[in-house]
Amino acid sequence: MIGIKAIASYIPEYVVDNFSQAKKFGESDEFITKKIGAECLPRKSDDQDTSELSMLAVQALFDKCPELSTKKIDALVVITQNPDNEGLPHTAAILQNKLNLPKTVAAFDVSLGCSGYIYGLFILKGFLESSGLQNGILVTCDPYSKVVDVNDRITSLLFGDAATASWLGTEPLWTLDAAEYGTDGSGADYLHVTQGYLHMNGRQIFNFAASQVAPHIKQLLKRENISEEDIDLFCLHQGSRAILDAISKHFSDISHRFVKDMTRTGNTVSSSIPLLLEKRAFNNENVNRILISGFGVGLSIASAIISKNRKELAYVN
């Protein structure tokens, strides 16, 4: 059985002060803290591309897990819609070379945004299990600083750069129990890149998240015959504080279990969920079952339930 064994991350040290940015647009500090949710936004340097950030996250994973040698890696998947250069060749191939992984490795990109981590988990799990393989690394890295227009009020206040690397393998610490997916391409125009710049219909993206995510989560729980109270933590894509508040209000009795933690990162696209898992969930003894949900560009959504594998309580530090 393939599941998550460890997660590591890389967040650039340089950050943009979001309060200063907000003033430029005539927005208040309160708007930043209560609606956007990010006080600062990490930004990669100009000479770093997606494969560089990804490499740093994977190196952090190797540092965290000395028992994971490059020789053991069977597959490398990169979730990104902002690949190196112009996307050809795929960033995973560039990363394979940077990491000096074996030439036997299967390396490919998956073009998904905020829902990408969950799709990536189950894609890689399925790939490894059906191919009789043991170990894979799932990377998320979607540096929107490459496409954000600094004069665009909403997108320039929202997105931060980051990369994560998750080790998927046998005898996991966390099992991938169930997932529910969804796509609505009629909303494709609501978040797109044209002529090199990101364009977002903030209202429609907000509406999608505020009206579709809670029912999607409830549908998954109902299908799996699990009650909301049986979920210890809800680690949702950190789209914005306003979106998280709009979703969690549909779970009023347990809204305190919705993690809201994007103050120092902003919306890091597909990295937001693994960042939460790494920081707030995986080393928490009181957390045994987590619901994760990612939603956004596409429009695309995925929700999943993961749980602590009681047979593997060894703590990987």
Partner 1 sequence: MLTEQQVINVINNMGLDVNLDAENTSTDESFRSLGIDSLDVFNLLIEVETLTGRNVPDGDVEQLTSIKKIVKYYS
**Contacting positions for partner 1 (CB under 8 A):** 31, 35, 201-204, 206-207, 210-211, 240, 242, 245-246, 249
**CA 20 – CA 23 distance, rounded (Å):** 5
Q: How far is the CB of 206 from partner 1 (least distance, A)?
A: 5
Q: How far is the CB of 253 from partner 1 (least distance, A)?
A: 15
- 215's enclosing H/E stretch is helix 202-223
Q: Compare residues 201 and 309 and give the one whose CB is closer to partner 1.
A: 201
**CA 20 – CA 17 distance, rounded (Å):** 6
Q: How far is the CB of 203 from partner 1 (least distance, A)?
A: 5
Q: Compare residues 203 and 223 and give the one whose CB is closer to partner 1.
A: 203
Q: How far is the CB of 262 from partner 1 (least distance, A)?
A: 15
Residue 35: CB atoms within 10 Å: 15
CA Rg, the chain, in Å? Answer: 18
> Taking the C-alpha atoms of 74, 182, 276 and 139 in order, what is their torsion angle to the nearest 10 degrees?
30
Q: Compare residues 89 and 202 and give the one whose CB is closer to partner 1.
A: 202
**CA 294 – CA 147 distance, rounded (Å):** 21
- Which residues touch 187 (CB under 8 Å, ≥6 apart)? 204, 208, 298, 299
- 92's enclosing H/E stretch is helix 91-99
CB 81 within 8 A of CB 147: no
Tokens linked to 175: 């099992």
Q: Compare residues 255 and 309 and give the one whose CB is closer to partner 1.
A: 255
Q: Compare residues 13 and 253 and give the one whose CB is closer to partner 1.
A: 253
Q: How far is the CB of 147 from partner 1 (least distance, A)?
A: 22
Pairing state between β 75-79 and 106-110: parallel
Q: How far is the CB of 67 from partner 1 (least distance, A)?
A: 46
Q: Compare residues 19 and 31 and give the one whose CB is closer to partner 1.
A: 31
CB 232 within 8 A of CB 287: yes
